[in-house]
Chain A
Amino acid sequence: MTMLIALFWRDLRRAWGSGALWLPVLFFLLVATAFPFAVGPDTPLLQRAGGGMAWVAALLAALLPIDRLVRPDRDAGVLDQLAVRGVADEVIAAVKIGAHAVGFGLPLLIALLPASALLAQDAGRMETLATGIAIAIPALASLAVLSAALTAGLKGGSAIGGLLVLPLAVPLLIFGAGMLDPSGRGAIKLLAAVSLLLTAIGPFAAGAALRGLRE
């Protein structure tokens, strides 16, 4: 247990250390700032499209740091040292998913506040957005760690990392953005189901990928 806590804090410290805490926040706000300029001064249109844009930005913010989630640990020998101590790859993956969920998820939810204003989302829509993104954060972290583990052994792998998990992220986007539609009553349940599924398979899939890195 001490070991799991030590691993979790190390990952979180590295995620937030040296100003990296603000990276997903800045990225998220950048998209929220640029989007209204691109759409033009049509408030109803911005309101309709803004929620979907926030979802796309949240997905990309989760995938932003995939090149520092696994590869530095592999290169520094940290993964080998943990394996020598008999720590299961699935456990390492689960801790990394948890730390990434907190590491990018918390700042993202805070950034959602100003972003909603920029995207002309009213209080009700903002609440729906925040609920949906909060539900999806573990799944987004799971996908990020999975693609980081799959591409850690490749040169320039992070570029294809996003492409790898995009098909898996599509249901999150559909149901997440669907929650904002007045007719999308069941969307939150489907979103929660997809998020649960992705979060549950994440540690096993990413753990298998970590094992593959050693061969």
Chain B
Amino acid sequence: MVLLRFDRVACIRGDRLLFEELSLALAPGEALWLRGPNGAGKSSLIRVAAGLLRAAAGTVERFGRVALIDEAAALDAELPLRRALDFWARVDTVDGHTVDRAMEAMALHPLAEVPVAMLSTGQRKRAAMVRVIASGAPIWLLDEPANGMDDAAQARLVAAIAMHRANGGAVMLASHFALGVPDLADLDMGARA
């Protein structure tokens, strides 16, 4: 069984070929670390996997719903954090308890009533992580999820990833540094270019 499959995929941005002939498969419980320098195509690969960018060649197949973190938090800045997250809970048709548990996992309960605009970069990343956890999607696509996070938050992120994999989810993680996720396959985008 496979959750995400790339078959000889190529990606072109502007007039630059970022990667080609890329084949990979993610099964339940697996995690893949996309590494490489800035501009190597990590984010583009994540967006191709999410279906936001069309692959120039090859096929991308997803067997299950997808949850995505990218540089934009997609939370309404004027709302208190909890209400901003509740919007996505309604879109994903999950109940309040699921959001509660996800907020606990990222230790965000004390900030529930704080407007999103007042949150720091790391806190906003944690909030986006809450949305990913609460969505219940089996495929997680995380683009630099730990940016701005302190050590405690990173530990919670790693724990959340481990929990997700234990429950049969798959994770694709783009990061320029190692997060300390155990049992991690890696794909060096810099070496391919």
Where the two chains meet, the residues of A that have a C-beta atom closer than 8 Å to any C-beta of B are 2-3, 5-7, 10, 14, 17-18, 75-78, 80-86, 214-215
A10 and B52 contacting across the interface, CB-CB below 8 Å: no
Contacts of B90 in A (CB 8 A): 2-3, 5-6
B78 and A78 contacting across the interface, CB-CB below 8 Å: no
A76 and B93 contacting across the interface, CB-CB below 8 Å: no
A18 and B88 contacting across the interface, CB-CB below 8 Å: no
Q: Which one of B54, B66, B87 has the greatest number of beta carbons of chain A within 10 Å?
A: B87
**B72 contacts the other chain (Cβ, under 8 Å)?**
yes
Contacts of A18 in B (CB 8 A): 78
Of B75, B77, B91, which contacts A85 at CB under 8 A?
B91
B50 and A84 contacting across the interface, CB-CB below 8 Å: yes
B53 and A77 contacting across the interface, CB-CB below 8 Å: no
Q: List 21 A-B contacts (CB under 8 A).
A: A2-B91, A2-B93, A3-B90, A3-B91, A6-B87, A7-B91, A10-B87, A76-B73, A77-B71, A77-B73, A77-B74, A80-B50, A80-B52, A80-B70, A80-B74, A81-B68, A83-B50, A84-B67, A84-B68, A85-B91, A85-B92
Task: Give the secondary structure class of B's interface.
Answer: loop
Given A77-B73, A80-B74, A215-B53, 20 further pairs, Cβ under 8 A: A2-B93, A3-B93, A18-B78, A75-B72, A76-B73, A76-B75, A76-B77, A77-B71, A77-B74, A80-B68, A80-B72, A81-B88, A82-B91, A83-B51, A84-B67, A85-B65, A85-B91, A86-B65, A214-B53, A215-B54
B70 and A214 contacting across the interface, CB-CB below 8 Å: no
Bound: A170/B90 CA distance, A: 40
**B76 contacts the other chain (Cβ, under 8 Å)?**
yes
Contacts of A76 in B (CB 8 A): 72-77
Chain B contacts with A in 144-158, Cβ cutoff 8 A: none
Bound: A144/B58 CA distance, A: 38
Task: Give the secondary structure class of A's interface.
Answer: helix
Which bracket fits the contact residues of B? 20 to 34
| CB nearest to A87 among chain B residues | B91
Bound: A3/B89 CA distance, A: 9
Bound: A214/B70 CA distance, A: 14
Contacts of A80 in B (CB 8 A): 50, 52, 68, 70, 72, 74
Q: Closest Cβ of chain A: how far from B147's Cβ, in Å?
A: 14
B75 and A6 contacting across the interface, CB-CB below 8 Å: no
Q: Closest Cβ of chain A: how far from B22's Cβ, in Å?
A: 20
Bound: A28/B10 CA distance, A: 52
